[in-house]
Amino acid sequence: MSYSKMGARKLYSGNQLIALGAWAAGLDLYFSYPMTPASSILHYLALKRESHKVYAVHAESELAAANMAVGACFAGKRSAVGSSGGGFALMQEAFSLAGMVEAPLLFVLSSRPGPATGVSTYTAQEDLFFCPSSGTW
């Protein structure tokens, strides 16, 4: 089938698709303290607030974002929180709490190419090492 018969296609980023998937699953609240590369999830959901009825909250810190998300679950809301490696490391107590109380909370860990300097340290895999044992340290 040629492109002209299929019509125009939309192009989405990975973070936009994460946001749309969470919205399709019934997301009510998204909490985040902006940390690249997860920041665009917060920005996209804030942009779509009226049409998607999802409230994006820019918290004052990573700890606040995670704890607000746990509290929202206690209040019966479907919530999610997102960050990158360093911010996710700060959320470990709330991550553990969510696991202990079996809160249906989505944590999005957006991994950077390297520890802090980007592509020059592309072979670093700290997030992949840290994530499977999160909440158990």
Residue 120 within a domain: yes
Residue 16 within a domain: no
Residue 32 within a domain: yes
Residue 84 within a domain: yes
Write the DSSP string, 11-43.
---HHHHHHHHHHHTT--EEEE---TTSHHHHH
Residue 22 within a domain: no
Query: Model confidence over 75-128: pLDDT tens digits?
Result: 999 999 999 888 888 899 999 999 999 999 999 988 776 555 555 555 556 677
Query: Model confidence over 16-27: pLDDT tens digits?
Result: 999 999 999 999
Residue 9 within a domain: no
pLDDT, mean over the chain: 86
Residue 43 lies in domain: 28-130
Task: Assign residue 99 the CATH number of its domain.
Answer: 3.40.50.970
Q: How many domains, in total, are found in the chain?
A: 1
pLDDT of residue 1: 45
Residue 56 within a domain: yes
Cα 23–chain centre separation? 12
Record the pTM: 0.83
